[in-house]
Each structure stands twice: as structure tokens, then as C-alpha cells.
């Protein structure tokens, strides 16, 4: 093969290799979490999303790669003055996300520096309207006001501020010492109050226990007195019942004796009959004279007298 042809083949091979190399170098891959701003001859051309893309060699270039993930920036502490003229240091943390890659690339020269300065001026304005105690107790209010102001201000830059957090509030040393003394005094006060409350509750519980004990003692004495009275009443009732039973038995015995006595007493006819029998015995004796009453009534009277004599 002639040398000229050989040299031509070598030149073409080199050119082909260079062309392939240029093509390969201009193939770009965009990740899921980013956007790519492409410029052609210095002017905005397009925004690439996820996938593989091809730049036009020597005309197109990647201006900026923008992360679409939520990002966090911790800014340096800022010196602020409260409404009551207390100077203190406050640092903030900003959570933001890029919503428009083109606005983010062309809206402001340095977005992070812009957000830092905007955050510092906004914080000074908000703290300047609050007292020291309000600054220490109103973090949520400060966070919400800063978020709203920063979100509105960064909309033209394609940035959305999701959250703003006040990280640290550092008052001057003398203020911190005064606050520590105040907190110590408050703790001691709460301790004394709690101790007094505990003693009060303890005294109340002791008094309640004594009261309950006295009530239970009184109830026990009452029950004992009731039982004792019931026992005495029952004993007296049994004694009276025994006496009544004895009296009843005596009366029954007397009644039986009277019945027997009455049963042994002679009746009037019996007395009369015995009177005549006595007269008959007298007649059978040595006496020769017999006196008879004039009539039977006198005889009956005499029989009554004899009956009384017998009775006695």
C-alpha cells in the first residue's frame, strides 16, 4: 500500500477516534434528585430532567446542576437587640427546597448568601419588636414569622422555605446570671411550697386518721353498751319471768290447797245429820233428858253454829 494511502487511513482513524471521544464526552446523565440547566452560546437553552442527554459539542454547556432535595443551612449567630435594649446572639436553621431550577440559576447571584442576609435582617426586625422574656418564650412565633417572610422573599428565586428554627438564643452574661438566680429562687420557692403542701396533707391525713379512730372507738363503745344493756335487760327479763313463774306456782298451789280444803269442809246437810247422830249418841247415854229445839229452824241454826265451830 502506498505511503500516502497509509497516512490518509491513519489520519481518518485518528479523526474518527476524536469524534467518538467528543461524542462520548458530551453524553450526560442526570440523576433523579437533580435538574441540569443547559446553555447554548451563553443563553438559556433547556432544563434537563432525569435520564441520559447529549450536548451539542462546542456550542452547549451545562450552566449549573441544581439539587431538588430539601436542604438545610445553619447560619452564623446574629447580633440582635430586643425591644428593652438587650443585645444577644441568635442563630437560625433554614430548611428549603428548590422548586424551579431556572429561577434558582438566574434569579439571584448567590442564593445561599442572599438567604443568609435576608434571614439576618428579618430576625433583627422581629426581635426588635419583642421583649427579652418574649424572645425566650416565643420561639414558635419567631419561627413562623421568619418562615413566612423568607418564603415570600425567595419565591422569585425558585426557592420554597419549609421551616425556620431558632437554634440558640444567647443573652449577655449578666442577664444569664440574673436568669439563673431567678430560676434558682423559683425552684426554692416551689420546693418550699411543695414541702408545705406535703406537711399540710400529712397533718390532714393524721387528723383524718385520728377522727376515724375516735369514730370507730365510739362506735365500738356504743355497740358494747347496747350489747351490755341488751344482756342486762335479758337477764332482768329472765329473773322477772322466774319470779312470775314462782308466784304463779304459789298461786296454783294455794288454789289447789283451797280446793282441797273446800273439798274437806262439811256441808250443812252433813252437819245437820251429824247433829242428829250426836243426839242419838247422847240419848243412848246415861242422861234421861233431851232438849230439842222448838222448831227445825232453830235446829238448823244450831247446826250452823256447830259448823262454824268445826270450821275453826
Each residue's pLDDT expressed in tens, for the chain with a length of 312 residues: 677 778 778 888 888 888 888 888 888 888 888 999 998 888 888 888 888 888 888 888 888 888 888 888 888 888 888 888 888 888 889 999 998 888 888 888 888 888 888 888 888 888 888 888 788 888 888 888 989 999 898 888 889 999 988 888 888 777 777 777 888 888 888 888 888 888 888 888 888 888 888 888 888 888 888 888 888 888 888 877 877 777 777 677 767 766 665 555 555 555 555 655 665 555 555 544 544 454 444 555 554 544 454 444
- C-alpha cell recorded at residue 24: 462520548
pTM for the model stands at 0.53
How far, in Å, CA of 302 to CA of 275, rounded? Answer: 9
Residue 187: which region, alpha, beta or left (left: phi > 0; alpha: psi -120 to 50)?
alpha
How far, in Å, CA of 164 to CA of 145, rounded? Answer: 9
Residue 42: which region, alpha, beta or left (left: phi > 0; alpha: psi -120 to 50)?
left
How far, in Å, CA of 307 to CA of 278, rounded? Answer: 13
The domain limits of the chain are 3-67, 71-171, 174-264, 266-311
Instruction: Please provide residue 259's backbone torsions phi and psi, each rounded to the nearest 5 degrees.
Output: -65, -45
Residue listed under C-alpha cell 377522727: 211
- CATH of 71-171, picked from 3.40.190.10, 3.30.70.2860, 2.30.40.10, 3.30.479.30, is 3.30.479.30
pLDDT value at position 74?
86
How far, in Å, CA of 280 to CA of 282, rounded? Answer: 5
How far, in Å, CA of 41 to CA of 15, rounded? Answer: 25
Cβ neighbors of 113 (< 8 A, separation 6 or more) are none
pLDDT value at position 290?
47
How far, in Å, CA of 75 to CA of 21, rounded? Answer: 44
Instruction: Please provide residue 131's backbone torsions phi and psi, each rounded to the nearest 5 degrees.
Output: -80, 170
- C-alpha cell recorded at residue 261: 280444803
Amino acid at each position: 500500500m502506498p505511503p500516502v494511502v497509509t497516512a490518509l487511513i491513519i489520519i481518518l482513524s485518528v479523526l474518527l477516534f476524536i469524534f467518538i471521544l467528543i461524542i462520548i464526552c458530551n453524553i450526560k446523565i442526570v440523576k433523579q434528585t437533580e435538574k441540569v440547566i443547559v446553555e447554548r452560546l451563553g443563553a438559556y437553552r433547556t432544563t434537563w430532567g432525569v435520564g441520559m442527554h447529549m450536548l451539542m459539542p462546542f456550542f452547549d454547556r451545562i450552566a449549573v446542576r441544581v439539587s431538588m432535595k430539601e436542604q438545610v443551612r445553619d447560619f452564623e449567630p446574629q447580633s440582635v437587640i430586643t425591644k428593652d435594649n438587650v443585645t444577644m446572639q441568635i442563630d437560625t436553621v433554614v430548611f428549603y427546597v428548590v422548586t424551579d431550577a431556572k429561577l434558582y440559576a438566574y434569579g439571584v447571584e448567590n442564593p445561599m448568601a442572599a438567604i443568609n442576609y435576608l434571614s439576618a435582617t428579618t430576625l433583627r426586625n422581629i426581635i426588635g419588636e419583642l421583649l427579652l422574656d418574649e424572645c425566650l418564650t416565643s420561639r414558635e412565633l419567631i419561627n413562623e414569622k421568619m418562615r413566612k417572610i423568607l418564603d415570600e422573599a425567595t419565591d422569585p428565586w425558585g426557592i420554597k422555605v419549609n421551616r425556620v428554627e431558632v437554634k440558640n438564643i444567647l443573652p449577655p452574661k449578666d442577664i444569664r446570671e440574673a436568669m439563673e438566680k431567678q430560676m434558682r429562687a423559683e425552684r426554692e420557692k416551689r420546693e418550699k411550697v411543695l414541702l408545705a403542701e406535703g406537711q399540710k396533707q400529712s397533718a390532714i391525713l393524721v387528723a383524718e386518721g385520728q377522727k376515724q379512730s375516735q369514730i370507730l372507738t365510739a362506735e365500738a363503745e356504743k355497740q358494747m353498751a347496747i350489747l351490755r344493756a341488751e344482756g342486762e335487760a335479758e337477764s332482768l327479763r329472765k329473773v322477772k319471768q322466774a319470779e312470775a313463774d314462782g308466784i304463779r306456782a304459789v298461786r296454783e298451789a294455794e288454789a289447789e290447797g283451797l280446793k282441797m280444803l273446800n273439798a274437806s269442809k262439811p256441808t250443812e246437810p252433813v252437819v245437820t245429820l251429824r247433829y242428829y247422830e250426836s243426839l242419838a249418841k247422847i240419848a243412848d247415854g246415861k242422861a234421861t233428858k233431851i232438849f230439842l229445839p222448838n222448831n227445825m229452824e232453830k235446829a238448823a241454826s244450831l247446826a250452823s253454829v256447830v259448823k262454824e265451830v268445826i270450821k275453826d
